[in-house]
């Protein structure tokens, strides 16, 4: 059955683009929302809006999400590490190198293909579109760690609502270049497309509000291990924020340069790992906590740093 969303535009959203507002309100990807708007699925008083329309306060938006098309993605036998499971939710420990869902350049070999082999399309939430069954958020290909998956539409709507309300606690571990001065800190800087490199993100004045909290877990000569709280969830947020304060993530091929880009001698990937998730269950009766230890290739880097020099002070 098609999903109908009716939303009154608050004062805080006056002037926002229609596609961005609807994507945030629905939890759907902005590109998918744009396609639906182009097809006439977003209206005000029966009048279709454009994706670029500026919103007015008090306007009631009516948005129809049609029945999802059957998925054409194929199940693939890709090993998955499941750290939590109930009838509604899976939490997967995704390895680095695994893309979350099919996209141009990565039509197969993704987490979605692995999920289809484990769950079948009927056993996953469908409201994020046929190419993203069960998906409510994603991790970059080179980031490892915990990823939530919805096993039905009700669970997918629940998880989307929790993410929008910032009720999912997501914590990461990152090794960054240099000695981070403050033991505790908070980065508040808007993130948007880099005007000079449209395939990258950057801190820009007209970007979306973005907040990352951090605390120092361990110090090494030339490097700092941080525990990070992802308050908002923008594309490449942690990597962009840390690079913006002069402490890029070790092994980052996009936002780091020189020695930071290479990382410590034994590092062969981005040192960023989603290690903890905390969220209310779908039935509201319990708090779900999941944790994934650093993968061996990252733990080995820390072991080598501890053995080859005095910790930074």
DSSP characters over 193-251: EETTEEEEEEE-TTSB--EEEEEEEEEETTEEEEEEEESS--TTHHHHHHHHTT-PBTT
Sheet of 60-65: strands edge to edge?
Answer: 3-8, 60-65, 42-44, 47-48
Domains 3-65 and 169-307 share a fold: no
Q: In angstroms, rounded to a whole number, what is the distance separating the alpha carbons of residues 125 and 89?
A: 10
The C-alpha atoms of residue 224 and residue 231 are separated, in whole angstroms, by 21
d(CA 80, CA 198): 33
Task: Classify strands 272-280 and 144-150 as parallel, antiparallel or unpaired.
Answer: parallel
Place of tokens 């944790």: 291
Q: Can 153 be counted among the known catalytic residues?
A: no
The pLDDT, as a whole number, for residue 71 is: 47
What pLDDT was estimated at residue 68?
52
The reply to whether CATH 3.30.2350.10 applies to domain 82-164 is yes
The CA-atom distances, in angstroms, between 246 and each of 61, 230, 252 are 42, 18, 13
Distance CA 109, CA 61 (A): 38
Q: Please identify which of the residues 16, 24, 86, 140 carries the catalytic annotation.
A: 140
Instruction: Give yes or no for a contact between 290 and 276, defined as CB atoms under 8 angstroms apart.
Output: yes
Which DSSP state fits 291? E
Q: What is the pLDDT of residue 199?
A: 75
Kindly provide the b/e burial profile for residues 79-98, where b requires at least 16 CB atoms within 10 angstroms of the residue's own CB: ebeebbeeebbbbbbbbbeb
Each residue's pLDDT tens digit in the chain (313 positions)?
A: 567 878 888 887 788 898 888 877 776 777 778 888 888 888 988 888 898 988 888 889 888 887 655 445 688 889 999 999 999 999 999 999 998 887 655 678 899 999 988 887 667 888 776 667 888 998 989 999 999 999 998 899 999 999 999 999 999 999 999 999 999 999 999 999 888 887 789 999 999 999 999 999 999 999 999 999 999 999 999 999 999 999 999 999 999 999 999 999 999 999 999 999 999 999 889 999 999 999 999 999 999 999 986 554 4
Q: Are 269 and 198 in contact (CB under 8 A)?
A: no
Fold (CATH) for 169-307: Pseudouridine synthase (3.30.2350)
Domain map of the chain by residue range? 3-65, 82-164, 169-307
Tell me which residue has tokens 């056993």.
123
Q: Does domain 3-65 have CATH number 3.40.50.2300?
A: no
- The pLDDT value recorded for residue 33 is 84
């Amino acid at each position: 059955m098609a999903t109908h969303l009716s939303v009154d535009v608050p004062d805080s959203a006056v002037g926002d683009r229609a596609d961005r507002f609807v994507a945030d309100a629905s939890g759907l990807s902005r590109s998918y929302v744009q396609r639906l708007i182009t097809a006439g699925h977003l209206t005000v008083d029966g009048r279709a809006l454009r994706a670029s329309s500026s919103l007015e306060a008090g306007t009631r938006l009516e948005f129809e999400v049609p029945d999802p098309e059957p998925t054409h993605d194929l199940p693939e036998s890709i090993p998955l590490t499941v750290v939590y499971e109930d009838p509604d939710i899976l939490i997967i420990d995704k390895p680095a190198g695994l893309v979350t869902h099919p996209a141009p350049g990565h039509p197969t070999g993704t987490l979605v293909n692995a999920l289809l082999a484990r769950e079948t399309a009927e056993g996953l939430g469908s409201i994020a579109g046929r190419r993203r069954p069960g998906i409510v958020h994603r991790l970059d290909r080179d980031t490892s760690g915990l990823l939530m998956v919805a096993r039905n539409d009700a669970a997918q709507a629940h998880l989307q609502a929790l993410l929008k309300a910032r009720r999912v606690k997501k914590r990461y571990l990152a090794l960054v270049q240099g000695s981070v001065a403050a033991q505790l800190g908070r980065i508040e800087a808007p993130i948007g497309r880099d005007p000079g490199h449209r395939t990258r993100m950057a801190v820009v004045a007209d970007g979306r509000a973005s907040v990352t909290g951090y605390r120092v877990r361990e110090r090494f000569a030339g490097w700092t291990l941080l525990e990070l709280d992802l308050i908002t969830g923008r594309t490449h947020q942690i990597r962009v924020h840390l690079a913006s304060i002069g402490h890029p993530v070790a092994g980052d091929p996009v936002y780091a340069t020189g020695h930071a880009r290479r990382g410590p001698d034994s590092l062969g990937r981005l040192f960023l790992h989603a290690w903890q998730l905390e969220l209310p269950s779908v039935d509201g009766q319990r708090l779900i906590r999941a944790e994934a230890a650093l993968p061996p290739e990252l733990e080995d880097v820390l072991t080598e740093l501890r053995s080859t020099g005095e910790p930074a002070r």
